[in-house]
Amino acid sequence: MSDVAIVVVGASLGGVGALQELTAGFNISIPAAFFVVQHIGRHRSLLPALLNQCSVLPAVHAYDGQPFRPGHIYVAPPDHHLCLTPHLIRLSRGPRENFTRPAIDPLFRSAARCHGPKVIGVLLTGRLSDGAAGLYEIRARGGLAVVQSPMDAACPDMPVNALRHAGADHVLPLAAMPGLIARLAQGVVFANEASP
């Protein structure tokens, strides 16, 4: 998957509306595969259906062993961590992290370890600090961190904690994120194609 950026997105409280707004701004030609963790615990999730109402990119609940492709959105199913390998999605019922499963940090960590500088980590509204450690690892391995401006977030805890512990390459309101992420994805692909 040298020709695709890996965009990992985490959200919690207030996240469904934020994810709808974010994904509505992408077009089908974006050279990225998207992976989403929304804190839902064991509860039934309608998130893929909700995203499909507003996004041209098809959204599905991920399944274990699933190959991923650009122009698609893969959502963590209830009560499973979503993790990445170089070419496949892995689901796990491992221990809860940050009091939840699915959690954001397992996705961010696995993406950073397998895809390094091809990763764009996006952290949206939410409570507590899930995602901060994962964003730190993404940045440590050459990826980029995009954080929703705390003043713009329905719940600023996760953005504030991420900025405090991991920093960010870009901090901006949700409305400006789709355009930025599209440009960053193009840059990731260009840099990867240009490297020997």
The residues that are catalytic are: 12, 39, 130
- Beta carbons within 8 Å of 68's beta carbon, 6+ residues apart: 1, 33, 35, 74, 84, 87, 88, 89
Give the pairing type, strands 119-123 and 73-75: unpaired
- Yes or no: say if 131 and 162 are a contact pair by the CB < 8 Å rule: yes
Residue 67 carries which DSSP code? B
Q: How many degrees, rounded to 5, is the angle at CA 120 between CA 170 and CA 154? A: 55
Using CA atoms, how far apart are residues 89 and 108, in angstroms rounded to an integer? 13
Using CA atoms, how far apart are residues 40 and 151, in angstroms rounded to an integer? 24
Q: If DSSP codes are grouped into helix, strand and coil, which group holds residue 138? A: helix
Radius of gyration (C-alpha) of the chain in whole angstroms: 15
Using CA atoms, how far apart are residues 159 and 167, in angstroms rounded to an integer? 10
Phi, then psi, of 30 in degrees rounded to 5: -65, 130
